[in-house]
């Protein structure tokens, strides 16, 4: 599907996954809002990550650090000095570009009259408190990772974890990207899911390999086809200032292979820097061996919007049902915004009380939708487009046989199941 991106963007807008931010004012510079279905998909992506990274492991704990941090953090981390992109201006049309993303001509007007590249720091600056002077300058965090490093000692003391162990965090990050774009792939405000895994120095490489495999598997476990994923190791010139080795989990977007998540071997860089700048000891003391060391860190760092975009692209499908074209999102049931739609065949008063009872029975267990508008065929299509795995239809026979029809989004198979067994039937299929 050559125009897949356009189709997904249109569907996302039409069905309330993603809206341009401040749309009634003409939108605002590549920022987006998540609508009723989008917020559910986003939460499901984040919950699936939290479940795999924290809930199902006894060696990783969670954290939620502030977005605003002491400015010294960004001096220590190297972001103030080196978190830059090379910026060039076109002297003809005045457009600004990332030098490494264009050739020797301006992509807008074709002019070769470009300025020399100069470093442009991507951090958003603000002021804290009522005085806007240099002493009040603060930055919106460009990554969640630093909140983890500065809390290393707090977490070790309170959780009694010892290396190898990890600290996981999800939250907003901000980067003043020169050229955001491709919908929610690259935005200036975005959400990250990062985990810093602290290991004894001689175990860095083995855990780096472990996390590369583990993170790749997370995407395939959630239904992403293995052939649209790959692991790409960075060349030395490409490495970030803190990294001794990085591999990207890449997805085959319609515009080519692109980064989904980065896995970096950050060595002892961050803890050492923060120890130096703060004067605090950021080490681990192993009481059993009497050994004291600065742990090395392996970091899988994923983006929420970028993962959502990839999951939507991978799930988008068009087929034909009973001679009619349909659009369907084949999302994994854990990611699907709505798990079950309850649909009374008609709006007649005779069906409503039973349909409402079924909805009340299910809504405490799953995210459900109740829809009694339009024809049943139209309602099935709406649910297919939203990626709802199961539709439960209440018809006039239900009043006699106390059974409902369950339609499967992907196989289109219809099962007649008694209301008594309905919850068990859905739990079996949706809890895996
Ligand atoms: N702490 C390491 C770090 O932040 P990164 O590769 O710069 O590494 C990690 O970012 C992930 O965050 C990326 O793989 C991507 O999924 C997401 N991300 C980074 N910049 C983004 C942006 N401008 N818009 C959307 N997602 C972004």
Task: Write out pLDDT tens, residues 13-57.
Answer: 999 999 999 999 999 988 999 999 999 999 999 999 999 999 999
Nearest in space to 336 (alpha carbons), one of 35, 49, 38: 38
Query: Could you tell me the two tokens for 417?
Result: 């199941």
Could you give the CA distance from residue 33 to residue 377 in angstroms, rounded to a whole number? Answer: 30
Could you give the CA distance from residue 298 to residue 243 in angstroms, rounded to a whole number? Answer: 10
How do residues 132-169 score in pLDDT, each as one tens digit?
A: 998 899 999 999 999 999 999 999 999 999 999 999 99
pLDDT at 2: 59
Nearest CA to ligand 1 atom 2: 301
For a mutational test of ligand 1's pocket, the pick from 140, 141, 143, 174, i.e. the residue with the most ligand atoms closer than 8 A to its C-beta, is: 143
Nearest in space to 302 (alpha carbons), one of 214, 421, 389: 214
Residue bearing tokens 């970030």: 240
Q: What is the mean pLDDT of residues 336-365?
A: 95
Per-residue confidence band for 1, with pLDDT thresholds at 50, 70 and 90: low
First to last CA, the chain: 31
**CA gyration radius, the chain:** 25
pLDDT score of 242 more than 90: no
Q: What is the mean pLDDT of residues 71-81?
A: 96
Residues with CB under 6 A from ligand 1: 143, 145, 175, 177, 186-187, 190, 192, 194, 259, 261-262, 299, 301-303, 305-306
Nearest CA to ligand 1 atom 25: 186
- CA of residue 7 to ligand 1 center, whole Å: 24
| CB burial of residue 21 (10 Å; 0-12, 13-18, 19+) | middle
Tell me what percent of the residues of the chain surpass a pLDDT of 70.
Answer: 100
Phi, psi of 302 (to 5 degrees): -115, 160
Q: What is the mean pLDDT of residues 296-310?
A: 98
pLDDT score of 293 more than 90: yes
Query: Could you tell me the two tokens for 374?
Result: 């339009």
- CA of residue 164 to ligand 1 center, whole Å: 24
pLDDT at 405: 98
Could you give the CA distance from residue 309 to residue 115 in angstroms, rounded to a whole number? Answer: 34
The DSSP-derived string for 363-395 is HTTS-EEE--SS-HHHHHHHHHHHT-SEEEEE-
Q: What is the mean pLDDT of residues 316-341?
A: 96
- CA of residue 156 to ligand 1 center, whole Å: 26
Peptide bond into 192 cis (omega under 30): no
Nearest CA to ligand 1 atom 18: 303
How do residues 177-236 score in pLDDT, each as one tens digit?
A: 998 989 999 999 999 999 999 999 999 999 999 999 999 999 999 999 999 999 999 999
Per-residue confidence band for 124, with pLDDT thresholds at 50, 70 and 90: very high
Nearest CA to ligand 1 atom 12: 303
pLDDT at 129: 93
pLDDT at 255: 93
Nearest in space to 35 (alpha carbons), one of 23, 17, 54: 17
What letter would DSSP give residue 55? Answer: I
């Amino acid at each position: 599907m050559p125009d897949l991106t356009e189709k997904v963007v249109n569907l996302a807008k039409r069905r309330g996954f993603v809206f341009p931010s401040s749309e009634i004012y003409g939108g605002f510079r590549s920022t987006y809002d998540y609508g009723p279905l989008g917020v559910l998909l986003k939460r499901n992506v984040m919950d699936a990550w939290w479940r795999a990274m924290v809930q199902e492991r006894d060696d990783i704990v969670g954290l939620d650090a502030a977005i605003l941090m002491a400015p010294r953090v960004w001096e220590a981390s190297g972001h103030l000095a080196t978190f830059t992109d090379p910026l060039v201006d076109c002297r003809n049309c005045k457009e600004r570009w990332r030098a490494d993303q264009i050739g020797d001509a301006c992509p807008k007007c074709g002019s070769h009259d470009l300025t020399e590249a100069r470093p442009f720091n991507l951090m958003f600056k603000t002021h804290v408190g009522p005085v806007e002077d240099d002493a009040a300058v603060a930055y919106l965090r460009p990554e969640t990772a630093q909140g983890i490093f500065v809390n290393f000692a707090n977490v070790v003391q309170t959780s009694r974890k010892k290396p190898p162990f990890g600290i996981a965090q999800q939250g907003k990050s901000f980067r003043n990207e020169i050229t955001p774009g491709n919908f929610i792939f690259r935005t200036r405000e975005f959400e990250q899911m990062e985990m810093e895994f602290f290991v004894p120095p001689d175990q860095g490489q083995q855990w780096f390999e472990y996390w590369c495999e583990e993170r790749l598997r997370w995407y395939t476990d959630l239904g992403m086809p293995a052939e649209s994923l790959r692991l790409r190791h960075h060349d030395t010139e490409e490495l970030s200032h803190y990294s001794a080795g990085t591999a990207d989990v890449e997805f085959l977007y319609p515009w080519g292979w692109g980064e989904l998540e980065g896995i970096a071997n950050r060595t002892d860089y961050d803890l050492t820097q923060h120890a130096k700048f703060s004067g605090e000891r950021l080490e681990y003391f192993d009481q059993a061996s009497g050994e004291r060391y600065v742990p090395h860190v392996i970091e899988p760092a994923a983006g929420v919007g970028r993962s959502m975009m990839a999951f939507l692209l991978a799930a988008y499908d068009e087929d034909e049902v009973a001679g009619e074209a349909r659009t369907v999102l084949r999302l994994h049931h854990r990611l699907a915004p709505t798990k079950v739609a309850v649909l009374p065949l008609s709006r007649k008063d005779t069906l409503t009380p039973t349909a409402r009872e079924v909805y009340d029975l299910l809504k405490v267990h799953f995210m459900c939708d109740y829809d009694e508008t339009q024809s049943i065929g139209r309602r099935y299509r709406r649910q297919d487009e939203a990626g709802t795995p199961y539709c439960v239809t209440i018809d006039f026979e239900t009043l006699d046989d106390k059974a409902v029809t369950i339609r499967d989004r992907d196989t289109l198979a219809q099962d007649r199941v008694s209301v008594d067994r309905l919850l068990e039937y859905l739990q079996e299929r949706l809890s895996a």
